[in-house]
Amino acid sequence: MKPKLPNETYRLIAREKDKPAGNGSWKPLPVSTAPNALTERIKELNCLYGISNLFENQDVSLSWILQRAVELIPAAWQYPEHACARIRLAGEEYTSKNFKQTRWRQNTKIVLNDNHVGDVDVFYTQVADGGTDPFLEEEDRLLKAIGERLSKVLWLKRSEEALKESEERYRVLTEQVAEGVALVQDGRFRYVNPTFCRMFHVPSAEEMQDGWVHRPPAGKADEIARLYEEKEAGGIEAKREKIHPVVRGEKTCWIQVCHSMISYKGRPALLSTFKDITEIKEEQLAAQRMADLLHDENRVLRSSLKERYRLGNLLGRSPAMQEVYERILKAAATDASVAIYGESGSGKELVARAIHDHSGRKKKRFVAVNCGAIQESLFEREFFGHRKGAFSSAHEDSPGYLDMAGGGTLFLDEVGELTVNMQAKLLRALEGGGYRPVGGTKPLTSDFRMISASNTALTNKVTTGEMRNDFFYRIHVIHIQLPPLRNRRQDIPLLVEHFLRKMNVPPNKIRVPGPIMDILVEYDWPGNVRELRNVLQRYVTLGRIEFFSPHRGTEAAPAALELNLHGAVQELEKSLISKALDQAGGNRTRAAALLGISRRALFRRLSNP
């Protein structure tokens, strides 16, 4: 039977076990005057306190602690002269003196974070009475307590090593970064890195150690204290960033400061970083000044746009054209797809070119495609290109429209002429799905800006099923409506002068007689600007104003109009008088009233052939 101890003895042992270990002042309990049973318990306490006290030694390794711990264990057993111990941890063994492994073994596990990481073994080298279980029940409990103490020591030591490693890693990191770093605790500097010292002209980091934040001991003390004023005034509860201007001589420097509350050695501390962003700030200020300048120029431009008569090759002072100019400039500032609507001959391609020329893609190609001339069977070859050998006449690689428009603009004139199948193939390329040249195996992509034009409403084609709904929305992001020439008659004189100059008409004949200009202004121009240019070309060539309309046939001006101003005016007068007499049924008084002249003036003109 294992001996039982009196209850008072157990209570005494329990009180002794609950006492904390002193800071390096632990002394073994005297055993000479204690009863035998109590002597055994004191030996146990001495062992536990001794193991705990090993951790109080500064700057010692875990191996040193485990070796001395294993030497303390045998003395706490009933027969210390025959006891020996072993600690196994992480593949290493630590043994007491005269260690010998026998069949009389007692074991407990060392557990760290619920993981079995090691063992503590106690052996008896011999047993006096030859018994099979020489260990006492109290020794079982003691060994478990030793295992628990070693687990705690192991956890503390590894935590300490991890903390030191982390601090060293952080120190190395902070010494290499380009930002200044400072650690403040209890209002004093605990650490500053070399960059901080260079930034604030501090001779060395040691001079800042334990210096007060509100009264820095070295460097540009006033600047440093000012950067911490916010912290001193109201404290910092969360991460806070701020940019501070610092005047040094005649130059203003900009320092970005970030304050963060952290826990350092179990107590709150302030970690601060300082970044010199003077160069970045100066670039920002310069960019802002440039933006303000451009804004002012843009405002002036827009205010003068009402009086502008030209944008690219587009001419017109009318309000309708001013609105078109405004839309062109807005569209040019983006890469969004543009849909241009207007009657035939109104200048849709000129609008597309103006958008391209005022955009960031103006240095790349502008590729115009007449969709009405594309055969469906040749669509992929025309748009996606082909590879050498793709068909019998393919003697070399040939790029398609998408390749040619790479980085630039693809203009699809009369986009409504594309079939639904052609739209589906083109849509995939527009949506980023890529395309394959005829005879090619690898998919290609092309970065281009899409501009389309139509002389009919594409919404009607969507309704009738002639255009895919998704294709319509892909090309119809920005909408520009070109007015027909009959809706901007005030631009006709400007256009007439422009076209005559391009036709190399002699300077003395560039100005068109008023009556002729009146005829040009009053005409409806179903062919728009294109028809006006053709009429003027005939006028310069034949000396007559003739209008050709598919619905009304050929119309000429009432009389031959020569380039001679006097002759043209006479011919026009005769024509108008003849018309007035026809309408008045030969009544000269009524004809004079229709012409807005007196009856005598009419007689005079009729009498002069």
Rounded to an integer, what distance in angstroms lies between the CA atom of residue 584 and that of residue 592? 9
At residue 609, the pLDDT reads 56
Rounded to an integer, what distance in angstroms lies between the CA atom of residue 92 and that of residue 240? 49
Going edge to edge, which strands form the sheet with 240-248? 188-192, 180-185, 267-276, 251-264, 240-248
Q: Which of 418, 314, 420, 307 is nearest to 371 (CA)?
A: 418
Query: Is the distance from CB of 74 to CB of 84 less than 8 angstroms?
Result: yes
| pLDDT > 70? residue 475 | yes
| pLDDT > 50? residue 5 | no
Rounded to an integer, what distance in angstroms lies between the CA atom of residue 142 and that of residue 154? 18
Rounded to an integer, what distance in angstroms lies between the CA atom of residue 193 and that of residue 406? 51
The structure tokens listed for 141 are 């409990």
At residue 450, the pLDDT reads 93
User: For residue range 198-254, what is the model confidence (pLDDT) as tens digits?
Assistant: 889 899 888 998 999 888 998 888 888 888 876 554 455 667 888 888 888 778 888
Rounded to an integer, what distance in angstroms lies between the CA atom of residue 32 and that of residue 80? 16
The structure tokens listed for 295 are 């804004």
Rounded to an integer, what distance in angstroms lies between the CA atom of residue 390 and that of residue 384? 13
Rounded to an integer, what distance in angstroms lies between the CA atom of residue 481 and that of residue 494? 21
User: For residue range 423-468, what is the model confidence (pLDDT) as tens digits?
Assistant: 998 988 888 778 888 888 888 888 899 999 999 989 999 999 999 9
Judged by DSSP in three states, 150 sits in helix
The structure tokens listed for 250 are 């005649």
User: For residue range 162-189, what is the model confidence (pLDDT) as tens digits?
Assistant: 777 777 766 666 666 778 889 999 889 9
Query: Is the distance from CB of 110 to CB of 154 less than 8 angstroms?
Result: yes
Average confidence score pLDDT of the chain: 81
At residue 562, the pLDDT reads 44
User: Whole-prediction pTM value?
Assistant: 0.46
355 burial level (CB within 10 Å; 0-12, 13-18, 19+): buried
At residue 392, the pLDDT reads 80
| Cα-only R_g, the chain | 50
Judged by DSSP in three states, 255 sits in strand
Which range scores top for mean pLDDT: 407-411, 580-584, 598-602?
Answer: 407-411
User: For residue range 259-280, what is the model confidence (pLDDT) as tens digits?
Assistant: 888 888 778 999 898 988 888 8
At residue 349, the pLDDT reads 93
User: For residue range 14-50, what is the model confidence (pLDDT) as tens digits?
Assistant: 444 444 444 444 445 454 444 466 676 777 788 888 8
Q: Which of 424, 430, 431, 378 is nearest to 400 (CA)?
A: 378
The runs of H, that is alpha helices, within 101-220 are 137-176, 194-199
Report the share of the chain in percent with pLDDT over 90.
20
| pLDDT > 50? residue 68 | yes
Q: Give the model's confidence band at 352: pLDDT under 50 very low, under 70 low, under 90 confident, else very high.
A: very high
* Contacts with 122 (C-beta within 8 Å, 6 or more apart), sequence order: 73, 74, 77, 83, 84, 85, 105, 106, 107, 135, 139, 143
